[in-house]
Structure 1
Amino acid sequence: MKAHYFDYAASTPADPRVAQAMAACLTLDGNFGNPASRSHRYGWQAEQAVENARRQLADLLKADPREIVWTSGATESNNLALKGVVEALRDAGETGPLHIITSAIEHKAVLDPCKWLAQHQGVEVTYLTPDADGLITPQQVADALRPETCLVSLMAVNNELGTLTDVAAIGALLSKHRAVFHVDAAQAIGKIPVDVKAWQVDLLSVSAHKFYGPKGIGALFVKREPQVKLAAQIHGGGHERGMRSGTLATHQLVGLGEAARLVAEEGAADEARIRGLRDQLWAGLQALGDVYLNGHATQRTANHLNVSFGGVDGEILLASLAKVAVSSGSACNSATVAPSFVLKAIGRSDALAHAGIRFSLGRFTTSDEVEAVIAEVARVVAMLRG
């Protein structure tokens, strides 16, 4: 029997329209050429397709297409943003102390580069602690700012909780400071409106497979006015205006562009429908008793529902939910048996952090599926509670 898929925050299936657009870029009778081949029609057509995708993503983000730098996904975008800012400052001759502000509940794709910069570049990092609702406030950022702060990196939507950071308020705060503002928007696109101008961000990371596009492709928004200076992390040909070398994957970029177009046209309707399904799921789970919502009740996306179940062993609970595809936190940490560091950061006990389950819904979730999942979770929880 096929499991009910409730792990859209880990990865979304490609929309069939995205897959169709990608398939047309793979074979001899399609648009398979190298976008960097400037001497024949195959290359020109591929370049045109890549640039069309660049515009589609830029339109979704309210950006200039020249501000979109292609990457392999949000992890690479985050590394390029964080390491690129610090190394560009060092290359420009800045020898004094540098300071970064981030939070204790960022994705590992931000926390690990921060750790690397502290160890190898001598950068001091401040990790802001969320409140009990999983929120980082603009006031916390203001209190942590120093003259030597060169970068603030905060996610728009937390990947485990779905909680929303007030990035617009933080962007307004940082507009008066020299610090570059980087936002990891991997979980935001397709779930909330993203506007780089309104948010006043300098750098913003994108991952296609979080909004019904293909895996292995993403982008980094890099503000042009004033131009954010970044040191490239991948060298070999000077592609993407010298910021990211490598042959562009036409089919993946066409898929990302089509996924962005669909979000622009259908995202609001998706959000309203999914919110109703999420609330239906929460009502059913809440009725089981001794169930706790993790994260702010309203300041979160429609797609996420992170709950802890009292009176059960978390590992046994997750293993017993074989008919439901869910996670105990970030997909990047699914191999560890330690309790979620995000749930620990918001004050959950070890037992409740271990028993935390992230349900995430999406474009293809149905009401019947929600009812089936409620029934299955109720059966498993009742069995484990004896």
Structure 2
Amino acid sequence: MPWNETVTMQRLEFILACQAGEKSMTELCCLHGISRKTGYKWLNRFNPHELSSLENIPRTRHTQPAKIPPDIAGRLILFRQQHPDWGPKKIRHWFLNNNADFIVPAASTIGDLLKDAGMVQPRMRRKRTPGNLRDLTMPVRNNHVWSADFKGRFRLKDGSWCRPFTLTDNHSRYLLSCEPGTSETTVFVRSCMEKAFLEGGLPDVIRTDNGSPFVAPGILALTQLSVWLIKLGVQPERTTPGCPGQNARHERMHLSLKTAMSHHDVFGSLSEQQAWCSGWRNEFNQEKPHEAHGQQPPAKIWMPSPRKWDGRVPAVNYPAGAKLYKVGEKGDLSLNGRMFLSGALRGEYVRFLEVDDGVDVILFDRMILAYYDRAEKRIIRID
């Protein structure tokens, strides 16, 4: 007798014995060398009209996973070649958003296709870093917090260095600026920001890291750039040194930019690199779906800021009768002796406002710079 028939007959004997009711379930299970759980499983599965109900149920798949037709697979692979920094989810939702003329496969199926085609690199495991210990502004709306940074540097074919400057809106992920330059200077960054402000209005906060030209010696690491921003009503904000994760949304965009650039040949001049960056920025904003916004591209979410800018830098206005001090040419104040404040504030006026007995708060515009202890005649830093 075949093995399957033997097993089936043994199970049938067990079922018939159970139905006879002469012995308990525990006794019958012991006699047949099975657990009570298995015994009840056989009882529940048994169908008197189908003896096959007592056979083992194979665990192999009853259906084969759907295969992508060759013509559609070719289109998906070609699209990935054109967008090397896009993952399966982004590719799938791009076709859905653009009314594809075929049934778009699941993201997992597209991922398997790309993996089989050798177009997916395994992820490197990274150690987790401690969380941020400083309070940074949490973006809750468009133009609440923008992030600015440089994306490394590399040489063009003409031998010159290229340092792309980038500026993004943290809420919508909209890329406001992607400008290749030759140096990381205040003049270059300000020109990029001026262009973005004229096109998109003013944000509330601009977040940067602690590299040049975003920091300088002195109170709050103020620079000429940050003083200019304060005058425009934009609060400069810096991440903790060595904690790029505090600017994770901007860094993620940089990863996409790096991946896209790695699939293109080095350009011969800055103008050629600029043309490529402009095209990539348009694709990132107008086409690339983003998971945080229901797979919609950033352009569907972002709107210009209601705080329009006319290109002028307003003067700092203090209330009449305010106690003011002018910052010297060396960035110092004359307070019972010369005390260094910030070279970026040279020629500017700061306000002293009493907030406690013997303690003044030092303000530039509406931004608190430090405190001054009149009794001890010293500046108390807060950074």
Tell me if both proteins adopt one fold, taking TM over 0.5 as the criterion: no
TM-score by length of 1: 0.22
Higher relative contact order (CA 8 A, sep 6+): 1
TM-score by length of 2: 0.22
